[in-house]
Structure 1
Amino acid sequence: MSVLRPLHSGWTVRAAAAAPVEDTLPAAVPGCVHTDLLAAGAIPDPFLDDNEVRLHWIGRTPWLYETSFDAAELRAERIDLVADGLDTVATVTLNGTELGRTANQHRGYRFDVTGLLRPTGNRLSVRFDSAYDYAEGVRDSLGPRPNAYPEPFQYIRKMACNFGWDWGPTVVTAGIWQPIGLHAWSTARLARVRPVVTVSGSTGRVEVLVDLERTTDAPVVVTASVGGVESAVEVPAGALAASVVVEVPDAALWWPRGFGAATRHDLRVELTAEGGVLDAWTRRIGFRTVELDTAADAGGSRFVLRVNGEPVFVRGVNWIPDDAFVARVDRARYAERIGQGVAAGVNFLRVWGGGRYESDDFYDVADELGVLVGQDFPFACAAYPEEDPLGSEVAAEAREQVVRLMPHPSLVMWVGNNENIWGFHDWGWPEHLEGRTWGEGYYLRVLPGIVHELDPTRPYWPGSPYSGGVDAHGTAIHPNDPAHGTTHIWDVWNTHDYRHYATYRPRFVAEFGFQAPPAFATLRRAVSDDPLTPQSPGVAHHQKAIGGNDKLARGLVGHFPPVDGIDDWHWATQLNQSRAIAFGIEHFRALKPFCMGTIVWQLNDNWPVTSWSAVDGDGRRKPLWFALRRVYADRLVTFQPREGAVAVVAVNDTPEPWHAELDVRRLAFDGTPRAKVTLSVDVPAGGAVTVPLPPEVATPESPSAELLVADLPGDRAVHFFAEDVDLAYPRPSAAVTVSAAPDGVDLHVTAHTLLRDLTVFPDRVDPAATVDRQLLTLLPGETVTLHVTGAGELDPQRWSSAPVLRTANDLITG
């Protein structure tokens, strides 16, 4: 049996040229130089204040990682050094002999070291040259190309967002970021295992395609087993490839969340010779089918994802690397963050193209939870050269990563790039390119060819956004045409009020978002400004979007009056983010089945920052998360404008019909009833039904002092007839009592007046505390109990006023 020996201990790192830090320091592997320097106390935390700016030298410096090890116990015909990930421009040397050079963070490498190993005292070194130097050299050789930021990220196969983004720091890393070790083997090994998983009727089928590497020509046997069924094939002497098919009758299917159980099956592949196991490979697979329906129709062309034949309305979020230093993200953190998405009703994660091919831990958690995933190839917001050295690297990494990820049933779509086809059409690239390549060949030929060859069970889509290229008549379609394929909507954040979402009738929205600052405890941890203000230097540094704070202020216009001070700014902008995204999602979901997906930008952050996220860089949920939980519920009731009046739209994303008796009331702000109607609503499985309201309910007597309320078990939909600035809110009044709970406290809030968007910020009392509900609208006399976990403070005065307890009312009434 082959043996894998990790080499993760005893590493050191030092600068390989003159640098502000010259000491040799302990190094963690897997890891990166920034976290090593931070652990040694050699640099301040790049995430705090503006430390990042003073640490840019790290990305301009070459670094040398070294370790020593013994290998007397390894006895085999062949021993390889296996490096699953080197970041990025590396020279690998063992005992003074150069093994090879690398220039791609997205690939793994294997070096034959059989004749170089000593029983004791082996010296392994990995020198990382500056990613900047390499990228700038490629740029100078191949010619400049436009991109969204003044950094050379498209000239190196490395995580683009390492070079900074409009939500991320510029921390150009280097290091051994994935496992590294020695693989000792004899006779033959499983060089590549490619399971093609399909379903026909009730029978699950796995065709296991195996590539071998050999030290001898002896015949070997490949055996595959899954679901209690085993199949084997003998591989003749010298043959380097084999195929074995396993069919599982009455196979339990893998379903996305909300449709059924996410059932997985253990697939084991063994390589044997003369009765002994030479090598083995195991994964958990799921039997399911995936189709992408992009057929033309009267409204343009569809973009409908079908799993096991069932259309799925995508309730998605965009995923970025969860830490700027990705080696710090372990399985537990993936489980926490993806779990936060699932708890908010998310059924789809889009892995954005400026990051990485996500880890097996990420995909395994998604598999387990029944979360669908679309994986972008790592190209974003830039014109990419197609010539070598990059062209061959792109093809090699794509082949490796497609095969690595194909066992995961959660992976349902490959996407060629983020915004590059759109960028070529709309961002003035052609005049700057002067005929140079920009990536089109990757997205329309190389990548779809590799996916079709290696992983034909999954759809490929050339870009996000992308409209299919041409319509049914052969006429070219703009790549961001909302009537076709996928669209990104960014004019709302950049130039328009959020109610502009209602002017769109998209088929599938793959990006749209609105900013807000992080939780206050996160902001306060990261920024030491005194006084802390919306304009103070640290707050400004933790806003990476150009004009971001001006756009936050512009977004409040027409909704809330101007705000002064950090507390009101923080609350107003977080509330406005929640309102904006909820407004957009409710509009898009109410268009079902014309629109079949929304993917919010973004679920998470990679450091503490003002951004579009629902969960901030310290893992705290912003009010947006609570808004998502309501508007991403399996069943949604929303008030929508229809034919000049207000109507109720009931949306059912479950596979079961839904019958609801819905009381809709028009009330004065003091709770006085004005009108009421009971609606009997029948919504088919996966459907949406629009029910007009009678004029006596839909038409207010006093638009500034009335609202509509529709109550469902566990949910409440509300509609106000004017914007907050035009509403005659009462000054908020409530009684708050506090009682001890086993893991925190319970807050009992009784409304004396209408309270709109009642929100408690427990982190203002205890940074470790969380609350179970936010953004609640209470009528006079109603009581709600909020459970706060992790806080022991029982003084109701701490919980009953700003900045801990907030409502929309107090932004208007003061």
Structure 2
Amino acid sequence: MTISLNGQWLLACVQRSAIQDLHINLPGDVHSALYAAGEIPDPYWATNEKKVQWVGECDWIVSRHFELTAEQLTCNAMDLVLEQLDTVAEIRINGHTVADFNNMFMRHKVDVLSCLQVGANRIEIVLHRADLAAKNRADKLPFPLPWAEGNNQIPFMNTLRKPQFHSGWDWSICLSVLGVYGDIVLQPIEHVRISHLATKQKWHQQGCELAVTLHYEVVSEKGLANAAVTFDGQTFHLTLDRESTKASVIFRIDNPRQWWPAGYGKQQLYKLALEADGVAITKQIGLRKLELVTEDDEYGQSMVVIVNDVPISARGANWIPLDAMPARMTEQRYRSLLTDATAANMNMLRVWGGGMYEKDIFYNLCDELGLLVWQDLMFANALYPSTPDFIAEVEQEVEFQVRRLKDHPSLVLWCGDNEVLGAINREPESRQHREKHLINYDRLNRTLAEVVEREDPSRRFWASSPCNGELDIIDTWHHDPQRGDMHCWDVWDSGKEFDAYLQVTPRFCSEFGFQSWPSLPTVKSYLPEQDWNISSPSFESHQKSNNGNSIITEMFTRYFRFPNGFVNMLYLSQVQQALAVKTAAEYWRTQKPINRGMLFWQLNDCWPVSSWSSLEYSGRWKQLHYHARRFFAPQMATFTRDQQGLKLHLVNDGRKNTELKGEVVWQSWEGEILYREPITQYLAADSTKVVWEWLNEDLDGHEQDGFFHVHLHSGQQLIENTWLPARPKYCDLACPDLRFEVAEHNNEIVVMLSSSKPAFFVHLEFEGEGRFEDSSFTLVPEHQRQIKYIGSASYDEVVQGLRVYHLKQSY
């Protein structure tokens, strides 16, 4: 029977005698415990980040007592297991040092039976400060390795196997947290120690064979142990002997219920269960075929995920860790964010390499929801050692993580790192000594590839993001849109306009994006009202991207009339962000099959901050997320304009043909209908086509008369889009006389909106918890809208806390 050591421990600071015997709940982190005890202010409020830096510059001891009986100590071994220990730590039991650890990305396990005693026992975990450990490691390197300077506030974090964002990033606070973030247990071993359980699928015409392999070590003197493996109602009984370290069984499944990504089919999951020596392991298995295909074609080289023989158009975003304070990473928040990703019609997330290999709940939910996972290994934006010790440490880490995650049907590929290959040509040190650093990179990257290919031959290893493919170390930082994956940052980093997205068609774009400021309710959660100014020190302390506020503001002047006041600046920044990402995503979707994937940067925030996210730290939907729900919808309509004229494209990513009915309308700013044409189209599965055109000569001299709007239905699905003839600042918008009323019908709260003239980027914002069925849309007089509120607030709370914006009122 496993003995849990989770719960209340005592916390003491080595360097500060006044901070002793505080309570800390483990799993948890030191900062959260200090905040709960009143020893530090809220790190996320105003400029408090500076006031709490001392925490990461100290060593800490967490300790507790626990009782053991004589019966519990009759086992052959007693493993102390720590699921997620951050990071440089010494473990003591009853005064004996039993282990030293220095890798947060490992499950640490050590036999401590010889140190335990009947009755009271004491365990201590000494958490050493990361900055000194990183400096000590850097001093021992054979040559200097550039670290992520400009993102990290603490140097040399590339020498530690710790989340790189812990020392700051261009969207993250710098806290250098310490703690234990996973379960802490004592595991008695009577007869057999289970290493891991692995599966392999083999498909044939009649169905699927599932090979299940149990890896183990027999420790009892009798040299035998029993195990039972059950899948889909079938059970195999195994005898485990000391002469071997693994045992396998094969389950045959006829006509299997296949697992599909979101939008392509159901997420069928089977239960796989193992029982051995009092240990029970359960996994959810999705049966599906998977390929990542990169083949030469007429456009260069493809990059497409194929599931169950169907090409998938990947639509989604990049995932960063849920919170900068790990104690706040709750299952409910994981479920909320991932559910919101699928609500926005996403089917893929990329786990970014400067964060962490995510918790089991993340991958389990992705399996349940149909979210494909692009999994970076944890290396980002810096150069890393390739010394024998570091290679050995990383080899163990990757072996463990691949074994832990490989059976998830949602997992698509393993990627070696984020932008490390590009860093070689970015940093002065590596530019000057490029050959040496290329060899250093290749040594580490090949090790990663070898481990992945050995442990999980069913998936591709992708060397770096961005890159041209496996073991290809040609620099693609400046992009080769004809092959590989691409990080398209010309708009944000280089100051190009949104139309720059129309000049490139990546085969797979794994990063692109534009920043916005948070909504007013989120700003209220971290700033006092006297600091509601984009130039206030407090507001600027929550902007971690160099010149980020200046970039947002300068882009206002290109596209919009300058907003009136702080609140409208927040609103307009989200309009602008949505417009930027929408421009890229809609155009690239019309370019199928050249483009088969787009993941914008980024889905979520790890603290309240100005960033590229579509979901704020609180989970509140930015306008971008509402737009993503439309531009990532399986069926989508969008306008483009070229030298011939204005065109309407329809896109269908679904597996079935579909019929779309509605109309295209040209409407004046005052609401007068200048032209309308009915649309009825049958759209083949996995296709895109132009269904309507208006030639340039027909528009000449009349472009500024109004805007085009498409309004279609596919079954119950509403498909809309708007084309403005010029940048919004040049459009002569009328005051729309927008009216709204909150009503309650059949236990549902709805907001009824109408206007006498067209209103653009109509956005509903609620002070409390929850979201709306739709927002940031065009409202035209002939189509009044009823928007459902989704959340737990009462009718009165929605009435009091609702604010409605539109573009005309922002200036």
> In structure 1, what is the equivalent of residue 291 of structure 2?
291
- Give 3-state SS (helix, strand or coil) of 1:451's partner: helix
Please point out which of 156, 159, 176 is paired with 2:180. Answer: 176
Check if 1:14 corresponds to 2:12. yes
- The 3 A distance-change label for structure 1 pair 222 and 513 is same
Residues 467 and 475 in structure 2, CA contact (< 8 A), matched pair in contact too: no
* Distance in structure 2 (CA, Å) of the matches to 1:106 and 1:320: 16
* Distance in structure 2 (CA, Å) of the matches to 1:432 and 1:322: 37
Q: Which moved more, 1:62-71 or 1:727-736?
A: 727-736
Deviation at 1:57, TM superposition (A): 1.2
Check if 1:35 corresponds to 2:40. no
> In structure 1, what is the equivalent of residue 103 of structure 2?
104
* Distance in structure 2 (CA, Å) of the matches to 1:387 and 1:164: 26
- The 3 A distance-change label for structure 1 pair 580 and 743 is farther
* Distance in structure 1 (CA, Å) of the matches to 2:91 and 2:623: 48
* Distance in structure 2 (CA, Å) of the matches to 1:525 and 1:689: 46
Deviation at 1:477, TM superposition (A): 6.5
> In structure 2, what is the equivalent of residue 253 of structure 1?
258
Q: Which moved more, 1:482-491 or 1:228-237?
A: 228-237
Unmatched 5+ stretches in structure 1: 272-276
Q: 1:308-366 CA deviation, whole Å, 9 max, x = no partner? A: 11100000110000111234212221111100100001100110001111111001111
* Distance in structure 2 (CA, Å) of the matches to 1:345 and 1:189: 43
* Distance in structure 1 (CA, Å) of the matches to 2:481 and 2:489: 12
Alignment-mate amino acid for residue 160 of structure 2: I
Counterpart mapping for 1:103-252 below 5 A:
103-142=102-141, 143-149=143-149, 150-151=153-154, 152-215=156-219, 216=221, 218-252=223-257
* Distance in structure 2 (CA, Å) of the matches to 1:707 and 1:62: 62
* Distance in structure 2 (CA, Å) of the matches to 1:18 and 1:323: 27
Q: 1:51-80 CA deviation, whole Å, 9 max, x = no partner? A: 111111111111001110101151322212
* Distance in structure 1 (CA, Å) of the matches to 2:391 and 2:698: 60
* Distance in structure 2 (CA, Å) of the matches to 1:416 and 1:467: 12
Q: Which moved more, 1:359-368 or 1:565-574?
A: 565-574
- The 3 A distance-change label for structure 1 pair 256 and 202 is farther
Please point out which of 23, 41, 45 is paired with 1:44. Answer: 41
Residues 578 and 627 in structure 1, CA contact (< 8 A), matched pair in contact too: yes
Deviation at 1:744, TM superposition (A): 7.4
Moved over 6 A (4+): 474-479, 794-798
- The 3 A distance-change label for structure 1 pair 251 and 443 is farther
Unmatched 5+ stretches in structure 2: none
Q: Which moved more, 1:228-237 or 1:771-780?
A: 228-237
Residues 382 and 420 in structure 1, CA contact (< 8 A), matched pair in contact too: yes
* Distance in structure 2 (CA, Å) of the matches to 1:698 and 1:320: 48
- The 3 A distance-change label for structure 1 pair 455 and 153 is same
> In structure 1, what is the equivalent of residue 274 of structure 2?
269
Deviation at 1:527, TM superposition (A): 1.1
Deviation at 1:793, TM superposition (A): 4.3
Counterpart mapping for 1:58-97 below 5 A:
58-72=55-69, 73-74=71-72, 75-97=74-96
Aligned Cα RMSD in Å? 2.3
Q: 1:176-216 CA deviation, whole Å, 9 max, x = no partner? A: 22111111121212222222234333422222222222223
* Distance in structure 1 (CA, Å) of the matches to 2:499 and 2:381: 27
* Distance in structure 1 (CA, Å) of the matches to 2:397 and 2:470: 26
* Distance in structure 2 (CA, Å) of the matches to 1:531 and 1:155: 38
Q: Which moved more, 1:312-321 or 1:661-670?
A: 661-670
Deviation at 1:772, TM superposition (A): 2.7
Q: Which moved more, 1:540-549 or 1:251-260?
A: 251-260
Counterpart mapping for 1:774-813 below 5 A:
774-788=775-789, 789=791, 790=793, 792-793=795-796, 804-811=803-810
Q: 1:382-420 CA deviation, whole Å, 9 max, x = no partner? A: 111111442211111100010001121111111110011
* Distance in structure 2 (CA, Å) of the matches to 1:437 and 1:510: 25
Residues 398 and 448 in structure 2, CA contact (< 8 A), matched pair in contact too: yes
> In structure 1, what is the equivalent of residue 751 of structure 2?
747
- Give 3-state SS (helix, strand or coil) of 1:660's partner: strand
* Distance in structure 2 (CA, Å) of the matches to 1:254 and 1:427: 44
- Give 3-state SS (helix, strand or coil) of 2:119's partner: coil
TM-score (norm 2): 0.94
- The 3 A distance-change label for structure 1 pair 433 and 137 is farther
* Distance in structure 1 (CA, Å) of the matches to 2:199 and 2:625: 37
* Distance in structure 2 (CA, Å) of the matches to 1:475 and 1:606: 33
Residues 532 and 566 in structure 1, CA contact (< 8 A), matched pair in contact too: yes
Alignment-mate amino acid for residue 55 of structure 1: V
Deviation at 1:301, TM superposition (A): 1.0
Q: 1:681-705 CA deviation, whole Å, 9 max, x = no partner? A: 3322111112341439962653223
* Distance in structure 1 (CA, Å) of the matches to 2:80 and 2:801: 59
* Distance in structure 1 (CA, Å) of the matches to 2:33 and 2:206: 52
Alignment-mate amino acid for residue 197 of structure 1: Q
* Distance in structure 1 (CA, Å) of the matches to 2:562 and 2:158: 41
* Distance in structure 1 (CA, Å) of the matches to 2:747 and 2:608: 27
Residues 344 and 630 in structure 1, CA contact (< 8 A), matched pair in contact too: yes
* Distance in structure 1 (CA, Å) of the matches to 2:485 and 2:474: 18
Residues 217 and 242 in structure 2, CA contact (< 8 A), matched pair in contact too: no
Deviation at 1:470, TM superposition (A): 9.3
> In structure 1, what is the equivalent of residue 691 of structure 2?
691
Q: Which moved more, 1:421-430 or 1:300-309?
A: 421-430
- Give 3-state SS (helix, strand or coil) of 1:530's partner: helix
* Distance in structure 1 (CA, Å) of the matches to 2:770 and 2:227: 54
- The 3 A distance-change label for structure 1 pair 698 and 30 is farther
* Distance in structure 1 (CA, Å) of the matches to 2:379 and 2:757: 52
Deviation at 1:740, TM superposition (A): 4.1
* Distance in structure 2 (CA, Å) of the matches to 1:99 and 1:433: 42
Q: Which moved more, 1:204-213 or 1:565-574?
A: 204-213
> In structure 2, what is the equivalent of residue 274 of structure 1?
none
Alignment-mate amino acid for residue 416 of structure 1: G
Alignment-mate amino acid for residue 628 of structure 2: L
Alignment-mate amino acid for residue 528 of structure 2: S
Q: Which moved more, 1:418-427 or 1:316-325?
A: 418-427
* Distance in structure 2 (CA, Å) of the matches to 1:746 and 1:237: 66
Q: Which moved more, 1:175-184 or 1:683-692?
A: 683-692
Q: 1:220-258 CA deviation, whole Å, 9 max, x = no partner? A: 344422112333444444322222222222221111112
Q: Which moved more, 1:352-361 or 1:742-751?
A: 742-751
Deviation at 1:434, TM superposition (A): 6.7
Residues 385 and 437 in structure 1, CA contact (< 8 A), matched pair in contact too: no
* Distance in structure 2 (CA, Å) of the matches to 1:538 and 1:475: 42
Alignment-mate amino acid for residue 192 of structure 1: H
Q: Which moved more, 1:327-336 or 1:581-590?
A: 327-336
Deviation at 1:615, TM superposition (A): 0.6
Residues 737 and 747 in structure 1, CA contact (< 8 A), matched pair in contact too: yes
Q: Which moved more, 1:349-358 or 1:456-465?
A: 456-465
Aligned-pair identity (%) = 28
Residues 199 and 287 in structure 1, CA contact (< 8 A), matched pair in contact too: no
TM-score (norm 1): 0.93
Residues paired across the two proteins, number: 795
Residues 423 and 429 in structure 1, CA contact (< 8 A), matched pair in contact too: no
Q: Which moved more, 1:749-758 or 1:92-101?
A: 749-758
* Distance in structure 1 (CA, Å) of the matches to 2:499 and 2:437: 39
Q: Which moved more, 1:456-465 or 1:231-240?
A: 231-240
- Give 3-state SS (helix, strand or coil) of 1:452's partner: helix
> In structure 1, what is the equivalent of residue 341 of structure 2?
341
Check if 1:5 corresponds to 2:9. no
> In structure 2, what is the equivalent of residue 727 of structure 1?
731
Alignment-mate amino acid for residue 2 of structure 2: L
